[in-house]
Structure 1
Amino acid sequence: MRAVWRAARFAVRRRRLQTSIIALVLLLSTATIVMAMGLLTTVDGPYDRAFAQQHGAHLTVGYDAAKATPAQVAASASRPGVTASGGPYPTRVMTISETAGPESFPPGPVVVAARTARGDDPVDRLTLRSGRWATGPGEIVLAGDYGRFPFDPVGKKITFEDGASFTIVGIGRSITRSAQAWVAPGQLTAPDGLQMLYRLVDRDAPSGTVTAGLPVTASQSYLVSRSDATENGKVAIPFLVAFGIAGLIVAVLTIGNVVSGTVVSGFRHIGVLKSLGFTPTQVTGVYLMMVAVPGVLGGLAGIAIGNLLAGVLATALADSFDLPKASGVSLTVDVLALAGVLAVVAVSAGVPAVRAGRIPAAIAVSAGAAPNRGRALRAQRALAGMRVPRPVSLGLGLPLARPARSAMTVAAVAFGVAAVTFSVGLDRTINAYLTDAEKTGSVDVEVPVPPGRSISLDGRPGTAKVTVTRFEQLHVPGFDRAVHTRAYQGSVTDRHGHRMVHGRWLTGPGEAVVGDPFLKKTGKKIGDAVVVSKDGRKATLRIVGTALVDGGDGILTDWGTLAALGGPASEGSGLSSSFLEVTLTPGTSPEAYAAALRAEGVEAHPAADEVEASQLIVLGLIALLTLGLATVAALGVFNTVVLNTRDRARDFGVLKSLGATPGQVMAVVLSSMTALGLLGGIIGLPLGLAAHHVVLPAMGGTGGLVFPYGLTEIFPWELMVLLVLAGVAIALLGALIPAGRAARLRTAAALHSE
Structure 2
Amino acid sequence: MARRSDTPPTAARDRVGALRAAARLARADLFARPGQTILTAVAIFAAATALVVTLALRAGLEDPFEDAMTATRGAHMAVHAGLTDADVARLRSLPGVVASDVRARANRQATVAGRTVEVGLEALPAADAAVDRPRLTDGRRPSAAGELLVERSFAREAGLRPGDRVAGGTITGLAVTTQQATYPRWDPGLIWATDVAGPERRVAVRLADPEGTEAFAAAARRALPGTRLAFTDWHHVRDTITDQTRTNALVISINTLLALFAVGFTVATVIGGRVLAQRREIGLLKAVGWTPRGIVALLVGEYLAVGFVAALLGLVAGAAIAPLLLEPMSSLLATPTPSALAPLPLLLALVLILAAVAVFTAVPALRAGRVKTIDALALGRGAGTGRASRAARIAAALRLPAIARLGVKDAFTSRSRASLTIAALTFMVVTLVAALSVEATFHRVIDDPALRAKPWDVRLEEPSALAATQGDPAVADATTISGFQVAGPRGELHARAVGDGFAAFPYAVPDGRMFARPGEAIAGRGLYETLGLQVGDQVTVRVEGQPVTLRLVGRHVEPDDDGEVVIFPAATLPEVPEPSAVIANFAPDTDQAAAARRLEAAAGVDAELPEEEVRGERADIRPIVLGSSLLLVAVGLVNLLATLLLVTRERARDFAIFKAVGLTPRGVLGVVNAGGAALGLIALAIGIPLGLVTYRAIMAAMSPSEGTDIVGTPGPFALLLTVPFVLAVTALASSWPGRAAVRVPAAAVLRAE
Match of residue 118 from structure 2 = 107
Output the amino acid matched with 2:663: A
Determine if contact 2:50/2:263 at 8 Å carries over to the other structure. Answer: no
Cα deviations across residues 563-612 of structure 1 (Å, max 9, x unaligned)? 986999xxxxxxxx99872323xxxx979x99xx9xxxxxxxx9986876
Task: Give the Å deviation of 1:385.
Answer: 7.0
User: Where in structure 2 are the equivalents of 1:311-460 lying within 5 Å?
Assistant: 311-315=323-327, 326=338, 328-359=340-371, 361-368=373-380, 372=384, 374-376=386-388, 387-399=399-411, 401-437=413-449, 456=473
Aligned length: 672
Separation of aligned partners in 2, 1:672 and 1:683: 17
Separation of aligned partners in 2, 1:102 and 1:693: 40
Determine if contact 2:431/2:691 at 8 Å carries over to the other structure. Answer: yes
Determine if contact 2:76/2:233 at 8 Å carries over to the other structure. Answer: yes
Task: Give the Å deviation of 1:678.
Answer: 3.1
After alignment, is 42-51 or 5-14 more displaced?
A: 42-51
Q: Relative to structure 1, is the Cα distance of residues 390 and 297 closer, same or farther in structure 2, using a 3 angstrom cutoff? A: same
Cα deviations across residues 353-389 of structure 1 (Å, max 9, x unaligned)? 2334555655543444586261228986897676443
Cα deviations across residues 52-75 of structure 1 (Å, max 9, x unaligned)? 58654334467999xxx9599759
User: Where in structure 2 are the equivalents of 1:266-305 lying within 5 Å?
Assistant: 266-274=278-286, 278-305=290-317
Output the amino acid matched with 1:615: R
Q: Relative to structure 1, is the Cα distance of residues 290 and 681 closer, same or farther in structure 2, using a 3 angstrom cutoff? A: farther
Output the amino acid matched with 1:467: A
Task: Give the Å deviation of 1:340.
Answer: 1.4
SS state at 1:712 partner: coil
Task: Give the Å deviation of 1:671.
Answer: 3.6
Task: Give the Å deviation of 1:343.
Answer: 1.4
Does residue 682 (structure 1) correspond to residue 696 (structure 2)? The answer is no
Among candidates 77, 84, 87, match of residue 94 of structure 2: 77
Determine if contact 2:52/2:318 at 8 Å carries over to the other structure. Answer: yes
Match of residue 502 from structure 2 = 492
Determine if contact 2:74/2:132 at 8 Å carries over to the other structure. Answer: yes
Cα deviations across residues 31-80 of structure 1 (Å, max 9, x unaligned)? 33333433454577897577458654334467999xxx9599759923xx
Separation of aligned partners in 1, 2:49 and 2:176: 34
Output the amino acid matched with 2:307: G
Determine if contact 2:332/2:617 at 8 Å carries over to the other structure. Answer: no
Q: Relative to structure 1, is the Cα distance of residues 513 and 86 closer, same or farther in structure 2, using a 3 angstrom cutoff? A: farther
Match of residue 41 from structure 2 = 23
Match of residue 207 from structure 1 = 214
After alignment, is 234-243 or 290-299 more displaced?
A: 234-243
Separation of aligned partners in 2, 1:173 and 1:668: 57
Determine if contact 1:512/1:545 at 8 Å carries over to the other structure. Answer: no
Q: Relative to structure 1, is the Cα distance of residues 49 and 650 closer, same or farther in structure 2, using a 3 angstrom cutoff? A: closer
Output the amino acid matched with 2:364: P
Separation of aligned partners in 2, 1:118 and 1:555: 42
Separation of aligned partners in 2, 1:28 and 1:249: 13
Q: Relative to structure 1, is the Cα distance of residues 354 and 443 closer, same or farther in structure 2, using a 3 angstrom cutoff? A: same
Cα deviations across residues 273-301 of structure 1 (Å, max 9, x unaligned)? 44555443332233223332342233223
Separation of aligned partners in 2, 1:641 and 1:168: 57
Task: Give the Å deviation of 1:270.
Answer: 2.5
**Structure 1 alignment gaps of length 5 or more:** 159-166, 458-465, 479-484, 520-525, 533-540, 569-576, 598-605
Determine if contact 2:107/2:118 at 8 Å carries over to the other structure. Answer: yes
Among candidates 671, 692, 695, match of residue 695 of structure 2: 692
SS state at 1:204 partner: coil
Output the amino acid matched with 2:688: L
Does residue 583 (structure 1) correspond to residue 579 (structure 2)? The answer is no
Separation of aligned partners in 1, 2:372 and 2:306: 28
TM-score (norm 1): 0.68
Task: Give the Å deviation of 1:250.
Answer: 3.1
After alignment, is 429-438 or 370-379 more displaced?
A: 370-379
User: Where in structure 2 are the equivalents of 1:436-585 lying within 5 Å?
Assistant: 436-437=448-449, 456=473, 467-469=476-478, 491-495=501-505, 499-500=508-509, 505=514, 581-584=586-589
Output the amino acid matched with 1:748: A
SS state at 1:84 partner: strand
Does residue 632 (structure 1) correspond to residue 642 (structure 2)? The answer is no
Determine if contact 2:523/2:555 at 8 Å carries over to the other structure. Answer: yes
Q: Relative to structure 1, is the Cα distance of residues 580 and 21 closer, same or farther in structure 2, using a 3 angstrom cutoff? A: same
Separation of aligned partners in 2, 1:157 and 1:399: 69
Determine if contact 1:284/1:354 at 8 Å carries over to the other structure. Answer: yes
Q: Relative to structure 1, is the Cα distance of residues 130 and 632 closer, same or farther in structure 2, using a 3 angstrom cutoff? A: closer
Output the amino acid matched with 1:305: A
Separation of aligned partners in 1, 2:427 and 2:126: 57
Separation of aligned partners in 2, 1:437 and 1:412: 37
Determine if contact 2:457/2:585 at 8 Å carries over to the other structure. Answer: no
Match of residue 751 from structure 1 = 750
Task: Give the Å deviation of 1:269.
Answer: 2.2
Determine if contact 1:58/1:200 at 8 Å carries over to the other structure. Answer: no
Determine if contact 1:373/1:401 at 8 Å carries over to the other structure. Answer: no
Determine if contact 1:26/1:299 at 8 Å carries over to the other structure. Answer: yes
TM-score (norm 2): 0.68
Aligned Cα root-mean-square deviation (Å) = 6.1
Match of residue 538 from structure 1 = none
Match of residue 188 from structure 1 = 199
Q: Relative to structure 1, is the Cα distance of residues 20 and 748 closer, same or farther in structure 2, using a 3 angstrom cutoff? A: same
Match of residue 522 from structure 1 = none
Output the amino acid matched with 2:713: I
SS state at 2:751 partner: coil
Output the amino acid matched with 1:200: A
Q: Relative to structure 1, is the Cα distance of residues 752 and 631 closer, same or farther in structure 2, using a 3 angstrom cutoff? A: farther
User: Where in structure 2 are the equivalents of 1:6-17 lying within 5 Å?
Assistant: 6-17=24-35
After alignment, is 244-253 or 214-223 more displaced?
A: 214-223
Cα deviations across residues 396-438 of structure 1 (Å, max 9, x unaligned)? 4445543333322332332222222222222322332334339
Cα deviations across residues 98-156 of structure 1 (Å, max 9, x unaligned)? x6575765137x6x89x99689987657899755799xxxx999874687463779894
Cα deviations across residues 540-579 of structure 1 (Å, max 9, x unaligned)? x9999755799999999999999986999xxxxxxxx998
Determine if contact 2:655/2:668 at 8 Å carries over to the other structure. Answer: yes
Determine if contact 2:699/2:708 at 8 Å carries over to the other structure. Answer: no
Output the amino acid matched with 2:586: E
Determine if contact 1:154/1:168 at 8 Å carries over to the other structure. Answer: yes
Match of residue 621 from structure 2 = 618
Q: Relative to structure 1, is the Cα distance of residues 722 and 335 closer, same or farther in structure 2, using a 3 angstrom cutoff? A: same
Match of residue 163 from structure 1 = none
Separation of aligned partners in 2, 1:644 and 1:618: 39
Separation of aligned partners in 2, 1:331 and 1:430: 36
Separation of aligned partners in 2, 1:671 and 1:120: 65
